[in-house]
Chains A and B, each alone.
Chain A
Amino acid sequence: MSLRFRAAIVSVALFAVFLAMWQLATRSTAAVGSMSPEYARLMGATATEGKSAMPGPSDVGAKLWEHLRRPFYDNGPNDKGLGIQLGYSIARVGLGYLLAVIVAIPLGFLIGMSPLISRALDPFIQILKPISPLAWMPLALYTIKDSGLSAIFVIFICSVWPMLINTAFGVAGVRQEWINVARTLEVGTIRRAFTVILPAAAPTIVTGMRISIGIAWLVIVAAEMLVGGTGIGYFVWNEWNNLSITNVIIAIFLIGLVGMVLDQALARLARLVTFPE
């Protein structure tokens, strides 16, 4: 038996144990006080049948199937299918992330190639980097005056730092010999940046991009819970509003799934640009 096959068996077994424990933990508690049928009609299942407030795996499975059967329904501005909500979130992350790439990589190059700029910008970067992206939200709402753009701005600001720092680090760390060779061959600065430094620094840059996309996806959910309207974060908030833990669990699962896909895409990109030394 190959290692991979054995690992798969263990994974499935662990999942089965997890499901069984979940089912066991959420079964009905029998202790329910007696109540008149008229009163019971007005009460929820938690109060009348002793049903656990936490949904069991079967509840979640049934609900998930319901969502998967019609992922793109649109019942008006406040109720859209999960597919549409995820689409909105991915679009927001994509846009904010793209802006961050456009800003961070050239700036990172500049910082990496010029020790003067690196020193000059360092204090600003050090102060701005550790700020929680959501702390920008009130400021963004106030100045941009548009909640959709504010969410994109928050994504931008959170994903710009890892890319900026990694790019600068990668560019500064290119082996001096290669740059010297380029110098002896009288390669111009621009050409040197594109043909020597960029390929050499690419693995570090892509690592920064990979960290950024992970953070951006983490933050979008929180940002959408704040500004509302559309997106998977809004879906979580809306279902929380309805105290529907089932839907919240489904959303958590899907957020994890999409996050994994985004991460794997960047991992593939990283494999494309790595080179053996």
Chain B
Amino acid sequence: MSTFDGPFDVERRLTRHGCVCGRHHPAPEHDECGRALRCEPAASDEKRYAGVVASAVMRAVFPRDAARRAFLKSVGAATALAALSQFFPIRTATEAFADTGAPEKKDLKVGFIPITCATPIIMAAPLGFYSKHGLNVEVVKTAGWAVVRDKTINREYDASHMLAPMPIAISLGLGSNAVPFAVPAIENINGQGITLALRHKDKRNPADWKGMKFAIPFDYSMHNYLLRYYLAEHGVDPDADVQLRSVPPPEMVANLRADNIDGFLAPDNICQRAIYDGVGFLHVLSKEIWDGHPCCSFAASKDFITSAPNSFAALTRAIVDATSYASKPENRKEIAEAIAPANYLNAPTTVLEQVLTGTYADGLGNVKTDARRVDFDPFPWQSFAVWMLTQMKRWGQIKGDVDYKMIAEQIYLATDTRKLMAEMGLAPPAHSYKSFSVMGRSFDPDKPDDYLAGFKIRKAS
């Protein structure tokens, strides 16, 4: 479930007790509160913050809920709010609340790779989410994942768009020096796909793919792990039976056209671009492999986080805010237009629209619709990190015993993000771990080694 479904879902209980927004003690009272005190999706941030502040004040004034309810019932919410404002400056408090600590560094550079996964990071610039949180952010397009990694380690970028496993790999020193990194927010969930060259349109059974060549964007990517997982579940050993190549996404379509590769598991808009150019078709969406899988993350070095905590918090708020905006289907068309120009993704708007709205051509002559083809949810579930670590171990990227949870908790900052989201009036999940299932195989973050032992195809360690 997306975190953003919460506040609008009457049935959903987010806290141990109380109403759906968690601010009112017994649930029925939630419905009685006046407009300003209610948990309806707030029209703007100011209103959302006002709601948080007002309900905090109400709780302080009426420690007993019964008394508050009685008071509200007798005078009405609007009067209550007016009366309260007489002796408590709600407006000032709201402003003070929204304005949490001046950022130490206002002019920031954030690197990104031009794919739709980076949507929240990119659109936050043209749609003004960074400036709303008091930052002047320059989003810089970067040539490849290794360059993003090096430039972020060099502190040329303050924070970056990275593949979800990259901060883990960097922190563990896989493929680079060990530099502690952290992930305050996941960018997108779903939104990838396996695309095959058109000549393979009758070879839809992965068991027939032995001997084929596939491209993935980076070794430490969800794409690598998902493709390997998918192949292995169909009895194809990704190390022995097929060839996997690390290819930068823009080169994938050109290579597919030139018959250098047979297919790829790539981020969108690359999949849709191959279809748009008539060279490939979509075999499966990554959503069909694991619905709700993370893909890219927003990452910063621990060094930046400790040296500029307020800038980092403001940046995270801007990203969470943008991700929340991107998660709403009605905004997707506007976003597609905002990020299409050469300054950002540099891709045809039609392609981006198909990816973001989920009404797309599949390359075989059909128009398909899947509104959650790509979705956005910032909450950095630590169970995601545990899953990635199991796959890193499965394919020999890390060896020996792994303290899964210790690593996950250091890198995926679920606790901090939860606090921040609650302050913003959003409804973060109460736990940092959740179980999920990947191609029908359920994953329990408490038993990663058992999960790992269940795979027949894996690299001998």
Contact = CB atoms under 8 A, between A and B. Distances in A.
B156 A146 contact: yes
Contact of B278 (A47, A75, A141, A142): A47
Interface stretch (B59-67, B76-84, B178-186, B361-369): B361-369
A43 interface: yes
Contacts of A227: 143, 147
A79 B342 CA distance: 6
Contacts of B138: 77
Interface size class of B (residues with CB under 8 A): 35 or more
Contacts of A33: 365
A226 interface: yes
Interface stretch (A10-18, A235-243, A254-262): A235-243
A76 B141 CA distance: 11
B150 interface: yes
A58 interface: no
Given A43-B361, A78-B140, A228-B147, A243 B342 contact: no
Contacts of A147: 147, 150-151, 154, 156
B154 A145 contact: yes
Interface stretch (B9-17, B208-216, B269-277, B282-290): B269-277
Contacts of B250: 237, 240-241, 243
B142 interface: yes
A38 B343 CA distance: 30
A38 B154 CA distance: 48
A47 B141 contact: no
Interface stretch (B347-355, B386-394, B449-457): B347-355
B275 A242 contact: no
A142 B150 contact: yes
B395 interface: no
A46 B279 CA distance: 9
A42 interface: yes
Contacts of B143: 225-228, 234, 237
A44 interface: yes
A33 B364 CA distance: 11
B400 to A, nearest CB: 27
Nearest to B361: A42
Given A46-B278, A146-B154, A227-B147, A77 B343 contact: yes
A38 B346 contact: no
A77 B276 CA distance: 28
Nearest to B177: A142
A89 to B, nearest CB: 15
Interface in A125-177: 141-142, 145-147
B218 interface: no
B344 interface: yes
A147 B147 CA distance: 9
A53 interface: yes
Contacts of B276: 42-44, 47
A242 B254 CA distance: 11
A263 to B, nearest CB: 28
A201 B440 CA distance: 77
Contacts of A229: 140
Nearest to B248: A241
A35 interface: yes
A42 B278 contact: no
Interface in A11-69: 33, 35-36, 38-39, 41-44, 46-47, 53
Contact of A243 (B273, B343, B350, B360): B273
A187 to B, nearest CB: 51
Given A53-B277, A77-B140, A241-B250, A36 B343 contact: no
A233 B154 CA distance: 22
Nearest to B351: A44
B114 interface: yes
Interface in A202-251: 225-229, 234, 237-243
A238 B253 CA distance: 14
B341 interface: yes
Nearest to A239: B346
Given A44-B276, A53-B277, A228-B142, A238 B346 contact: yes
Interface of A: 33, 35-36, 38-39, 41-44, 46-47, 53, 75-79, 141-142, 145-147, 225-229, 234, 237-243
Closest 8 CB pairs of A and B: A47-B278, A79-B343, A42-B361, A79-B342, A145-B154, A228-B143, A76-B343, A241-B250
22 contacts: A35-B365, A39-B365, A41-B350, A42-B361, A44-B277, A44-B278, A46-B278, A47-B277, A47-B278, A75-B342, A75-B343, A78-B139, A78-B344, A78-B346, A79-B343, A79-B346, A141-B150, A146-B154, A147-B156, A234-B143, A241-B250, A243-B250
Given A146-B156, A147-B147, A229-B140, 4 more contacts: A77-B343, A78-B139, A78-B342, A243-B253
